[in-house]
Amino acid sequence: MASSRAPEARRLPAALARLGLPRHAAEGAVSGVAAGVAYRLGIPADVARAGFITLAFAGGVGLAAYGLAWLLSRPAMGDEPPRALAPAQRVGLALGFLGLLLVLRELGVWFGDQVVWPVGFVAFGVAAMWSRRPAGRQDLFAQISGEHGGPTAARLAVGALLIVGGVALFLSSVDVLAGLGQVMLAALIGGAGLAMVFGPWVWRLAADLGRERRERIRSEERAAMAAHLHDSVLQTLSLIQRSADPREMVVLARGQERELRAWLFGGEPAGGGRFRSTLQAAAARVEADHRVPVEVVTTGDDPELDEGLQALIQAAGEAITNAAKHSGAPAISVYAEAAEGRAEVWVSDQGTGFDPTAVAPDRRGIAESIVARLRRVGGRADITSEPGEGTEVHLSLGGGL
């Protein structure tokens, strides 16, 4: 018996699945049916809820429709593309809904004009004011007012108008406007009562929302950090594991350390157009190319780059490259000072050194390119070296010490 029914039971959900009515339990207020319908129609969920509520007062049609929709729907897989409605389609949808109400009214499936219209007005007014449009989609009001995101002024105005209209309609229909004073009093008392009843709940809800948002931000930050570490540190660590050359490992580790430090402590990114970071980037390039650690210390100001400073940094880069290529020193020190329109860089190594009066022609060429480059921008370069005593290149700009 059970076995003969089983295929039937399986076939039904399959048919429903083809109908394609999803149920967004996660986003739903009750069971996610309205959210699913809204999703399918391409309208805000609160508007669909308002529709169901209004229909519920039309002789309970809304409740029946809701139950039917629940039976026909299936839990959302979350992979259907959201539907976008053109403004004209939305107007059409609204008119269709209005027509449905009028038909129900004619048929007498109706709790009465003085109930259904005010309820409908208020429900849609609340929906207009409170509904949040799904991410990545524009709603009608935003399109009209040309604004994007958040409840727009136009939407708030329309919502408030609908709510006030609905309340006024209800009050006028039950003919209590005459005793307006008492009604105001009653409304005030009722409002105060509601505040007392729902106040704590609303308060808790707001606190929950705040906490949820904080947690979401935190988890997003964690995800961003994980992504960054994966792209940088983990890659470098795996490179280090594969590397057999200790010098290579040191350079990889130093490069990664520099990058991570800049990221963690919010240092200026390389090439940010400032003196310090550009000099450090130049040193880092030599370090990576020649596998020699370059220690950079900077003091004083951090001026914006101009032509002179650029020449200074290029000359420093050449001096560092020379030291890395020829000195044989295990490390190179770079010290820079910038203040009040002058800038100086010292590039020192404690390597083999050389006799500046008897340099090989190719090295003289390099030295001159340093000297000449600085002279063009009004600076100077002094090279002190002795065989066995290391080399110091002093570059200055704007009147050195």
Partner 1 sequence: MSIRVFVVDDHRLFLAGVRAELGERFDLVGEAVDVDEAIEAITRLAPDVALVDVHMPGGGGTAVVRAATASSPEVKFLALSVSDAAEDVIAMIRAGARGYVTKSIAADDLAEAVRRVHAGDAVFSPRLAGFVLDAFAAATPPDLDPDLDRLTDREREVLRQIARGYAYKQVARRLGISVKTVESHVSAVLRKLQLSNRHELTRWATERRII
Residue 240 within binding range of partner 1, rule CB under 8 A: no
One of 299, 328, 341, 387 touching partner 1 (CB under 8 A):
299
Whole-number minimum distance, CB 351 to partner 1, in Å? Answer: 12
Binding region for partner 1 (CB under 8 A) out of 76-84, 156-164, 278-286, 327-335 = 327-335
Residue 201 within binding range of partner 1, rule CB under 8 A: no
One of 80, 212, 220, 295 touching partner 1 (CB under 8 A):
295
* Sites for partner 1 among residues 245-264 (CB under 8 A): 254, 257
Whole-number minimum distance, CB 252 to partner 1, in Å? Answer: 13
Instruction: Measure the CA–CA gap between 383 and 367, rounded to whole angstroms.
Output: 8
Binding region for partner 1 (CB under 8 A) out of 48-56, 118-126, 151-159, 328-336 = 328-336
Neighbours of 396 (CB within 10 A): 19
Which is nearer to partner 1, 122 or 381 (by Cβ)? 381
Which tokens is 340 given? 């009040």
Instruction: Measure the CA–CA gap between 90 and 138, rounded to whole angstroms.
Output: 12
Residue 335 within binding range of partner 1, rule CB under 8 A: yes
On whether the CB atoms of residues 344 and 395 are closer than 8 A, the answer is: yes
Neighbours of 167 (CB within 10 A): 15
Whole-number minimum distance, CB 373 to partner 1, in Å? Answer: 21
Instruction: Measure the CA–CA gap between 18 and 35, rounded to whole angstroms.
Output: 18
* Sites for partner 1 among residues 360-399 (CB under 8 A): 392
Binding region for partner 1 (CB under 8 A) out of 81-89, 175-183, 227-235, 346-354 = 346-354
Which tokens is 105 given? 């009214």
Binding region for partner 1 (CB under 8 A) out of 73-81, 153-161, 335-343, 360-368 = 335-343
Which is nearer to partner 1, 143 or 298 (by Cβ)? 298
Instruction: Measure the CA–CA gap between 252 and 246, rounded to whole angstroms.
Output: 10
| Beta-bridge partners for 294 | 332
- Residues near partner 1 (CB under 8 A), total: 21
Whole-number minimum distance, CB 198 to partner 1, in Å? Answer: 44
One of 189, 197, 297, 360 touching partner 1 (CB under 8 A):
297
Would you report the helix, strand and coil content of the chain in percent, each value rounded to 5?
65, 10, 25
Binding region for partner 1 (CB under 8 A) out of 45-53, 201-209, 217-225, 299-307 = 299-307
Instruction: Measure the CA–CA gap between 134 and 80, rounded to whole angstroms.
Output: 14
Rg (C-alpha) for the chain, rounded Å, is 37
CA quadruple 177, 180, 182, 184: dihedral, nearest 10? 110
Binding region for partner 1 (CB under 8 A) out of 38-46, 124-132, 293-301, 366-374 = 293-301
One of 196, 265, 355, 358 touching partner 1 (CB under 8 A):
265
Whole-number minimum distance, CB 284 to partner 1, in Å? Answer: 15
One of 322, 348, 391, 396 touching partner 1 (CB under 8 A):
348
Which is nearer to partner 1, 298 or 369 (by Cβ)? 298
One of 298, 310, 314, 369 touching partner 1 (CB under 8 A):
298
Chain centroid to CA 207: 23
One of 278, 322, 333, 396 touching partner 1 (CB under 8 A):
333
Q: How many residues does the chain have?
A: 401
One of 263, 302, 325, 342 touching partner 1 (CB under 8 A):
302
Please, what is the Cα angle at 157 between 156 and 162, to 5 degrees? 100
Instruction: Measure the CA–CA gap between 27 and 58, rounded to whole angstroms.
Output: 26
Task: Name the packing angle between helices 361-376 and 307-322 (round to 10°).
Answer: 160
One of 42, 59, 300, 303 touching partner 1 (CB under 8 A):
300
Three-state helix/strand/coil letters over 95-144: HHHHHHHHHHHHHCCCCCHHHHHHHHHHHHHHHHHHCCCCCCCCCHHHHH
* Site residues, partner 1 (CB under 8 A): 254, 257, 265-266, 268, 295, 297-300, 302, 331-333, 335, 337, 339, 346, 348, 350, 392
